[in-house]
Chains A and B, each alone.
Chain A
Amino acid sequence: MSDEVHRVMESTDRAHERVAGLVERLTDVTRPGAVFGEPMTVGENTVVTAAEVFLAMGYGYGMGGGGKPREEGEEGPRTEVHGGEMPGGYGGGGGGGGSSKGRPVAVITINPAGVRIEPVLDLTKIGLAFLMVLGSLFVMMGKMRRSM
């Protein structure tokens, strides 16, 4: 194999190792420390925040190549690439994507009197869900009324 092929393969392998290392680090998100914040003490109260964490990612890569078309008179099968005018070559490529989100869920307060868990309400999300439900119900009712 030529040096060019080696270079392409090495470069693809390096990229693959780098991304595989990133995927391995998904384990960091599975630790409880990703969900529960550092305890903060104010007077007798110790406060810990709790959040939901979601992370997804994926990647793919590939490489390929073709031989140089044989010259007239050379032995062996002739490789017809674009009518024999295209020189041989190798190439590779890859891509990936991902998404992550975090959302506060509750605040935990610990003091000598006991433990108190206060939920965190995301009013924007609830408002959007309410508007979506209201809108879809209006559309459905309107369609049913028209069809009668």
Chain B
Amino acid sequence: MAERKPMFRYVLVDGTPVSAGGVRATPQARVLEVRWPGGGLVWNRPVAVIVKRDGTTSRMPIVDATRAAQLALGAFAALVSMMAAARAARRFRRGHE
């Protein structure tokens, strides 16, 4: 019988470790998997690199600079819109007092 796949999965998966000159780096990816009868979607993105060196382990996050810039622009637009709306509401109230 075929293996039954879960309908929803949000997991951290480790990639193949890479070693160079006493440094061992293991990349990590975050996977979002949604399946439904007749389809599905997968979103797979890199999140961090686990670095092992001289017996110590550290985690270096992978920053998605493009997404961060897009989110920052969106947040800026939302903030300016809210400030402008608040200012307009204040003027409207003052005009009707």
- Interfacial residues, chain A to chain B (CB-CB below 8 A): 23-24, 26-27, 29-36, 39, 41, 44-46, 48, 50-60, 96, 103, 105-106, 108, 110-112, 114-115, 117, 119-122, 125-126, 129-130, 133, 136-137, 140-141, 144, 147-148
B39: chain A residues within 8 A (beta carbon): 23, 56-59, 96
- Bound-state CA distance A60–B22 (Å) is 53
> Do B73 and A36 touch across chains, with their CB atoms under 8 A apart?
no
- Interfacial residues, chain B to chain A (CB-CB below 8 A): 5, 9, 13-16, 18-23, 25, 27-29, 31, 33, 35-36, 38-46, 49, 51, 53, 60, 62-66, 69-70, 73-74, 76-77, 80-81, 84, 88, 91
Q: Among A46, A51, A58, A125, point to the contact of B18 (Cβ < 8 A).
A: A46
Q: Among A31, A53, A106, A122, point to the contact of B62 (Cβ < 8 A).
A: A106
4 nearest A-B residue pairs (beta carbon): A112-B21, A58-B39, A32-B15, A119-B65
Q: What are 6 pairs between A and B in contact, CB < 8 Å? A: A24-B5, A30-B42, A53-B44, A111-B21, A114-B51, A115-B51
> Do A46 and B20 touch across chains, with their CB atoms under 8 A apart?
yes
> Most chain-B Cβ atoms within 10 A of its Cβ — which of A53, A103, A111, A120?
A53
